[in-house]
Amino acid sequence: MRLLAPALVLLLLSCVSLPHPSPADVARAQRTWPQADLATLEAARATYVTRCSGCHLLYVPTERAPQQWPADLLKMSKKAKLKPAELEQIERFVTVMAEHTESP
C-alpha cells in the first residue's frame, strides 16, 4: 500500500500536462486514418496513459516530431510488451498530438 500511493500520485501528475484531443486533432488524424474520431483518439490517450506510465513519466507528444515517434515507440514497446493493437493505438495518438496546439 505504501508503494501504491506514490505510484498513483506520479500517474496523476503525469496526466496533468497531457492534452486531450480536440476537433482540430481529429481533422488532422483523419488525413491519415479516415475512421479516426474523438472517441478513438480519447481511447488511444487512455491506452497511452495506462500502458506507458507504468515504466516512466509520460512524454508530452509535442516533445518529439511526429515522424520520430514510431521508431521510439517500437523500441519501448518491446520492453512494455505492448500488443500490436496497443502499439498502433498509441502511435496514432502521439503522432497526431505531436502537432497539437492549444486553442486561445
pLDDT reported for residue 17: 83
Indicate whether 92 belongs to any domain. Answer: yes
- Structural domain tally of the chain? 1
Distance between CA atoms of residues 34 and 30, nearest Å: 4
Indicate whether 45 belongs to any domain. Answer: yes
Indicate whether 24 belongs to any domain. Answer: yes
pLDDT reported for residue 43: 97
Does the pLDDT value for residue 90 go beyond 60? yes
Pick the closest to residue 96 from 56, 37, 54 (CA basis).
37
Indicate whether 104 belongs to any domain. Answer: no
Indicate whether 55 belongs to any domain. Answer: yes
Distance between CA atoms of residues 10 and 64, nearest Å: 22
Indicate whether 47 belongs to any domain. Answer: yes
Distance between CA atoms of residues 43 and 57, nearest Å: 19
Q: What is the pTM of this model?
A: 0.80
Does the pLDDT value for residue 3 go beyond 50? yes
Angle at alpha carbon of residue 32, lines to 26 and 33, rounded to 5°: 65
- Look up the domain containing 10 and give its range: 4-97
In this structure, are residues 14 and 57 in contact, taking their beta carbons and an 8 Å threshold?
yes
